[in-house]
Amino acid sequence: MPSLAVRLGLLRLESPLVLASGILGVSASSLALVASRGAGAVTTKSCGLDPRAGHPGPTVLPVTEGLLNAVGLSNPGADAMCEEIREFKSRCPTTLLFASLFGRTVEEFGEVAAHLAAAEPDLLEVNVSCPNVSSELGLPFEAKSKELAAITALVKKKAGDIPVALKLSINWGPIGEQARICAENGADLITAINTVGPGMLIDTNVMRPVLSNQVGGLSGPCILPLAVRAIWEVRRSVDLPIIGLGGVASSEDALQLIMAGATAVGIGTAVYHQGLDLFERVNQGLLRFLAEKGLEDLSEVCGAAHG
């Protein structure tokens, strides 16, 4: 029988599917629920050093084939997240846990990384690309090459033996070049892509933006072609494993990201629209594909679109 197990460097996932950061990622119980539905790994919501309320509502707006969100990096803070990480690992020892983090300064990224590393997640995912907090925190660090390099090196130092992935977007420059900066400064993996934008929708009745933050990041099936192209560029630019995400809502979508160069595939917005059973449906679709093609595992098609 074909196998869905994949390797992200030294990490082995029983399924290539990863719960993306931002969906059901605050508590151990919600993460465990996702794990029970067939995810190979789950990612916490992006966590800062201190608790953060995020933006006032409305913060999430369904749009055609996706979501526009300006949640604003709300989170319980690093200490509380460490407790949830430890509880999840005790409850779900066979599912990997990735801890997402952000900081307001280069130095704070290192502080948050050190806090979370103490809880021993399986990977640290560094969110340097959130598009909907620039009015408060300034341009994302992804847009600044020197800061991106410094954050990568500092988090890698603070992480110890824990692998580090940098989460990039297509919003702030050539993603292939950004991936090279991360690779040159110690990144073990690349996660791509973050939400696209920021974007805006206007309520024509009141003639004002719908979101309280005015703008938000766009996610969902509408950005799939952008994700495929970005992962293609990252694969051409660096020799690092890629966690691909952006618009995945079916096994066909997942295969496109894998063939563009992703080893694992994140699912986020589609859970909002289709529910947690989506993980099992995508897993079964991937198994059918492998069986029909006479393939043993997904490594045989990873990056296949590059020829």
Q: Enumerate the active-site residues.
A: 130
> Over the range 283-304, which residues count as b (16 or more CB within 10 Å of their CB) and which as e?
bebbbebbeeeeeebbeebbbe
Q: How far apart are CA 7 and CA 22, in angstroms?
A: 23
Whether the CB-CB separation of 168 and 194 falls below 8 Å is answered with yes
Reduced to 3 states (helix: H, G, I; strand: E, B; else coil), residue 189 is strand
C-alpha distances in Å from residue 307, one per residue of 6, 214, 259, 260, 291: 21, 43, 10, 10, 22
Q: How far apart are CA 287 and CA 304, in angstroms?
A: 17
Q: How far apart are CA 307 and CA 303, in angstroms?
A: 8
Going by C-alpha positions, the residue among 134, 144, 133, 194 that lies closest to residue 165 is: 194
Please, which residues have CB within 8 angstroms of residue 6's CB and are 6 or more apart in sequence?
A: 12, 13, 15, 16, 40, 263, 264, 297, 298, 299
Whether the CB-CB separation of 69 and 195 falls below 8 Å is answered with yes
